Amino acid sequence: MTGFKTPYGLIGRKLGHSISPEIHAALGNPHYSLYELEPEELSAFLADTRLKALNVTIPYKIDVIPLCAELDPLAKEIGSVNTLVRQQDGGWKGYNTDAYGFRCMMRAAGISFDGQHVLVLGNGGVSQTIQAVARLDGCASLDVLDISGTAHNYDDLPLFYDSTTLIVNATPVGMYPKAGKSLVDLTKFPHLKGVADVIYNPQRTAMLLQAEQLGIPYAGGLTMLVAQAKQAAEHFFGQPIPDSKIAEIGAKMQRDAENIVLIGMPGSGKTTIGEALGTLTGRTVVDIDAEIVQRTGKSIPEIFAASGEAGFREVEHLVTAECSAMRGVILVTGGGVVTRSENYAPLRSNGRIYQICRPTAELSREGRPLSLNADLDKMAAVRMPLYEQFADRAIENNRTPEDAAAEIRRDFDAYTRAEWTEFESAGRA
């Protein structure tokens, strides 16, 4: 049996990647712990009267309902509970704050259920909330796919290609450490007006990255996580918390977790600017070429000599994918990382990408196998369109590294704040 730690916390089966304690600490509650429980432990654990209030996650959002003495009307209507509060008589009252969080997430992305033909992927506890919100908020139709237990499974996806206008992923597919997977190919849905994914790690799942590339409005799960925690804390302590806290906490969490990625021609100054940026921000600088050398035990020229460019690019892709799973670091990439399109998704899934620009006549060739005897103008002609496709912002390297680093930091801070302005002065959803 999992032992008592603090009166407040989160219960679930696997909680290794949870950031809920960090959020609740920012909301003013440092006495919040993670409780991993097996199904047979649930009832006895909740009988511990030292526990005052809890959040509930996979797979117990439905299982806790029979253990509640009372349900909030919304939780009863939805059939899913993610917040438990001990009442004066010792019983648990169950609430659903996921609905509030999900509505905040949709609102921030400018997506509405009103009049939409909705396809929900997954049928667990959070899906029950999404389905209820979709109906309450006026969807035109609602279909749910899962492996079993629903009228349709994922083999039936083609039935919904032409009708669906809004897709919501309520499954763990696409979450770290198994990022890069998606249950759907959005190009098959010609009438999509929005895509939402309750996953928050990575910041952009494979499904959301595809939506971004297709120009479809999309919403990620971090907003939902922070907003539902804010309302849960209100239930925990019976005190209102301003919505501005969602912006304050969410922007900081995104800023701390998202990577800063530097791309650009060989010799453009990525390493020098990356080092200056690391000094400025206190972030760890991860040089992907250096990681390749460390992991293979060979220098870059030696890898090229032994395996050719194709062999090097394969190693580079694997290391890029692994390094991109880090959080809150500065990733300095090799000049040719953009030559393989599959490198884009891992870099962008949890990062903002900056292209470091420098005239070809000023590019350093030292220690760069492809640059030594190459026509850099021809190389740039091929690669510049690829850098532009990858990059979120271009930075000119025509000043000191410290000045370039300062510009990146200003842009990155403004970018993370901008995604949370909806809640800075908003009323309750």
Instruction: State which H helix or E strand residue 53 sits in.
Output: strand 53-56
50-62 average pLDDT score: 95
String of DSSP letters for 315-379: HHHHHHHHHHTSSS-EEE--TTGGGSGGGHHHHHHTEEEEEEE--GGG---TT-TTTTTS-HHHH
Reported in sequence order, the residue ranges of 127-284 that DSSP labels E, i.e. its strands, are 141-145, 166-169, 194-197, 218-219, 259-263
Indicate whether 270 pLDDT > 50.
yes
181 is catalytic: no
Sign of the torsion angle spanned by Cα atoms 327, 330, 332, 333: positive
H helical segments located in 238-283: 244-257, 270-281
Crossing angle for the helix pair 401-418 and 270-281, to the nearest 10 degrees: 60
How does residue 150 score in pLDDT terms, banded at 50, 70 and 90? very high
SS3 102: helix
Please tell me the predicted confidence (pLDDT) of residue 18: 87
Please tell me the predicted confidence (pLDDT) of residue 339: 96
Answer yes or no: are the C-beta atoms of 62 and 68 closer than 8 Å.
no
In sequence order, what are the beta bridge partners of 144? 120
Task: Please name each of the domains of the chain with its CATH number.
Answer: 8-96 (3.40.50.10860), 110-222 (3.40.50.720), 255-417 (3.40.50.300)
Please tell me the predicted confidence (pLDDT) of residue 429: 39
String of DSSP letters for 272-323: HHHHHHHHHH-PPEEEHHHHHHHHHSS-HHHHHHHHHHHHHHHHHHHHHHHH
The residues near 399 (Cβ < 8 Å, ≥ 6 apart) are none
Crossing angle for the helix pair 401-418 and 244-257, to the nearest 10 degrees: 140
How does residue 419 score in pLDDT terms, banded at 50, 70 and 90? confident
Please tell me the predicted confidence (pLDDT) of residue 368: 55
Amino acid at 382: V
Crossing angle for the helix pair 98-108 and 125-136, to the nearest 10 degrees: 60
At which residue do the structure tokens 């759907």 appear? 184
Indicate whether 276 pLDDT > 80.
yes
Please tell me the predicted confidence (pLDDT) of residue 361: 76
Q: Give the pLDDT confidence of 195-228 residue by residue, as tens digits.
A: 999 999 999 999 999 999 999 999 999 999 999 9
Catalytic residue among 61, 93, 230, 270: 61
Question: What does the alpha-carbon distance between residue 279 and residue 269 come to, in Å, rounded to a whole number?
Answer: 16
Sign of the torsion angle spanned by Cα atoms 367, 369, 374, 378: negative
Please tell me the predicted confidence (pLDDT) of residue 162: 98
Among residues 347, 425, 428, which one has the least CA distance to residue 389? 347
Q: Give the pLDDT confidence of 324-373 residue by residue, as tens digits.
A: 999 999 999 999 999 999 999 999 999 999 999 988 876 765 655 555 56
Backbone angles phi, psi at 127, to 5 degrees: -65, -35
Among residues 58, 67, 57, 124, which one has the least CA distance to residue 93? 67
Work out the mean pLDDT of the chain and round it to a whole number: 93
Q: Provide the CA 130 distance to its chain's centre, in angstroms.
A: 18
